[in-house]
Amino acid sequence: MEICDELRSFEATGVYRLDGTGATFLDPVRILNGSYQRFRVVPSAYYSRSFEPPPRQVGDLETEQPEKRRKRQRNQKPKPRELNAMERIAEARHQEARPLLLSAHESLIKDKQLLEYLSKTTDGKEHTPDAGSVSENNFVELGTSWRAPFYDITICFRKPHVLGNWEGSFDVQKTSFPLFNSIINVEAIDEAEGEFQNRRYILPRESCFLMTDYKHVRDLIPGRSNQGYNLIVVDPPWENGCVRQKQAYPTLPNRYLLYLPVQELAHTSGALLVLWITNREKLRVFVEQELLPTWGVKDPTVFYWLKVKPDGSLIGDLDLFHHRPYECLLLGYINVNTDAKQGSNFKLLEGSQVIMSVPGAHSRKPPLEKLLSEYIPGPKPPRCIELFARELFPGWTSWGNEPLHFQDSIYFAEK
Ligand code: SAM
């Protein structure tokens, strides 16, 4: 089969624009691998859910865990009941988004070349890390221990050779930094390797991170206003049943988010803010009516992240009320006069776009910078930050109580 230009570009970038619908398919592994020179993200480690063994057959009931059994039984017999007023509004939003989501999905299903390519994404049997296993460091716990101020991370950087006059020469420098409550910059020619408690972390070049609790988030505010950020991605630990059940990470009361210093983090020349939300109507109302106005975000628009399996099918029934196979993200501008945008070096957001990808670990979101680059105001390359991050990107600042989580070397292999 002849490979089309879009597929060739997808191979290089991890971004595939589907014809006609304005929908985009992303391959997070390909996108992330553009950030590394000596390492690569292992697909079976990223797409761990697609590599899990198939669900048990009904014959295996004796060995099934009680919680899993209850969940299966709940899903098998959904009790029909009347929706309450909030749920009816959520259902109306879903009905409004439905044709757009279906048409985006249809364009993916029709693209046989992409599907064939996709099926190979989760082929093969490289090591599959037991994510969340006891061997991984639990930064959330370590950060709250009385020992936290004494923990150091040792980072091995490769820096250009100061006196070297031949190309490609470098010096290796090993430096220790306090791991918690300190801003760490990875200023190196390629990825650096960090060591903490006998585990290795792969740190992309020019990345920066601050591992703290929410109480210290104001330490991120830049000293000078022209050092603010042009892209601010926020993925809060919203309170919800699924996170509680899975004990995936601690959550924060929604109202705490009102104090996130988003205005102070925004660049004076403007910022695009991206906020991941859940499908709960009560949260959507809080975000649209209180949170975004408090942060100074103007005219938010919605994008959808539709989750698919490696064969292109949806990860679940589109119409299942409490388990939609999609999540929403709200996008809007800060410090940008969208009426007087003429002559600026960026394109204004077009609403209601659909992003599709195969999901990784629980709550892990696809990387967005490439997809959004044309909509980011301010100087190029843009300054980008992720709040409540669990991974690092080159040129970005990542903040949260576990920004090194997915940088553990178990998610990587040497190139
Ligand atoms: N964007 C991430 C990703 O793609 O993998 C997922 C972020 S997850 C929804 C929310 C994150 O906020 C978790 O890593 C959680 O541990 C962190 N978090 C929870 N409470 C926090 C707090 N008090 N301070 C800082 N981070 C917190």
Q: Among 132, 117, 115, 108, which Cα is nearest to 45's?
A: 132
Would you place residue 335 in the very low, low, confident or very high pLDDT band (cuts 50, 70, 90)? confident
Number of domains, the chain:
1
Report yes or no on 58 lying in a domain.
no
Identify the sign of the CA torsion 222, 375, 285, 357. negative
HEC sequence for the chain: CCCCHHHHHHHHHCEEECCCCCCEEECHHHHHHCCCCCEEECHHHHCHHHHCCCCCCHHHHHHCCHHHHHHHHHHHCCCCCCCCHHHHHHHHHHHHHHHHHHHHHHHHHHCHHHHHHHHHHCCCCCCCCCCCCCCCCCHHHHHHCCCHHHCEEEEEEEEECCCCCCCCCEEEEEEEEECCCCEEECCCCCCEEEEECCEEEEECCCCEEEECCHHHHHHHCCCCHHHCECEEEECCCCCCHHHHHHCCCCCCCHHHHHHCCHHHHECCCCEEEEEEECCCHHHHHHHHHHHHHHHCCEEEEEEEEEEECCCCCECCCCCCCCCCCEEEEEEEEECCCHHHCCCCCCCCCCCCEEEEECCCCCCCCCCCHHHHHHHCCCCCCCCEEEECCCCCCCCEEEEECCCCHHHEHHHEEEC
Report yes or no on 68 lying in a domain.
no
Closest approach atom of ligand 1 to CA 237: 10
Token reading at 123: 């082929």
Could you tell me if 180 and 151 are in contact, meaning their C-beta atoms sit under 8 angstroms apart?
Answer: yes
Report yes or no on 78 lying in a domain.
no
Given a cut of 90, whether residue 132 has pLDDT beyond it is: no
> Among 255, 388, 408, which is best to mutate for testing ligand 1, by the most ligand atoms less than 8 A from CB?
388
Taking the centre of ligand 1 as the mean of its atom positions, its distance from the CA of residue 187, in whole angstroms, is: 25
Q: Among 123, 403, 388, which Cα is nearest to 276's?
A: 388
- How high is the pLDDT of residue 247? 72
Q: Which residues line ligand 1 (CB under 6 A)?
A: 140, 213-214, 235, 237, 249-250, 252, 363-365, 388-390, 400-402
Name which residue leads in pLDDT, 347 or 327: 327
- Cα dihedral 86, 92, 96, 98, rounded to 10, equals 90
Q: Among 317, 308, 319, which Cα is nearest to 109's?
A: 308
Average pLDDT in the 41-67 region? 69
- Cα dihedral 35, 36, 42, 48, rounded to 10, equals -30
Closest approach atom of ligand 1 to CA 256: 23
Burial class (CB in 10 A: 0-12, 13-18, 19+), 280: middle
Report yes or no on 114 lying in a domain.
yes
Identify the sign of the CA torsion 57, 363, 368, 277. positive
- How high is the pLDDT of residue 109? 95
Q: Which of 67-76, 115-124, 231-240, 366-375 has the lowest mean pLDDT?
A: 67-76
Q: What angle do CA 279, 233, 285 make, to 5 degrees?
A: 35
Closest approach atom of ligand 1 to CA 402: 14
- Cα dihedral 289, 279, 265, 25, rounded to 10, equals -130
Average pLDDT in the 57-85 region? 64
Distance CA 352, CA 72 (A): 33
Taking the centre of ligand 1 as the mean of its atom positions, its distance from the CA of residue 339, in whole angstroms, is: 35
Report yes or no on 63 lying in a domain.
no
- How high is the pLDDT of residue 128? 55
Report yes or no on 391 lying in a domain.
yes
Could you tell me if 407 and 205 are in contact, meaning their C-beta atoms sit under 8 angstroms apart?
Answer: no
> What's the distance, CA 180 to chain centroid?
22
Taking the centre of ligand 1 as the mean of its atom positions, its distance from the CA of residue 276, in whole angstroms, is: 12
Report yes or no on 130 lying in a domain.
yes
Domain limits for position 14: 1-49+85-415
Would you place residue 246 in the very low, low, confident or very high pLDDT band (cuts 50, 70, 90)? low
Report yes or no on 233 lying in a domain.
yes
Given a cut of 70, whether residue 3 has pLDDT beyond it is: no
Average pLDDT in the 117-131 region? 66
pLDDT digits (tens, 9 = 90+) for 154-204: 999 988 777 666 666 788 899 999 999 999 999 988 999 999 999 999 999
pLDDT digits (tens, 9 = 90+) for 4-29: 888 889 999 999 999 778 899 999 99
Taking the centre of ligand 1 as the mean of its atom positions, its distance from the CA of residue 370, in whole angstroms, is: 22
Q: Among 119, 172, 387, which Cα is nearest to 265's?
A: 387
Would you place residue 50 in the very low, low, confident or very high pLDDT band (cuts 50, 70, 90)? confident
Place of tokens 């299903």: 109
- How high is the pLDDT of residue 118? 84
Could you tell me if 399 and 389 are in contact, meaning their C-beta atoms sit under 8 angstroms apart?
Answer: yes
Given a cut of 90, whether residue 410 has pLDDT beyond it is: yes
Could you tell me if 326 and 306 are in contact, meaning their C-beta atoms sit under 8 angstroms apart?
Answer: yes
Q: Is the bond into 381 cis (omega within 30 degrees of 0)?
A: yes
Given a cut of 70, whether residue 387 has pLDDT beyond it is: yes
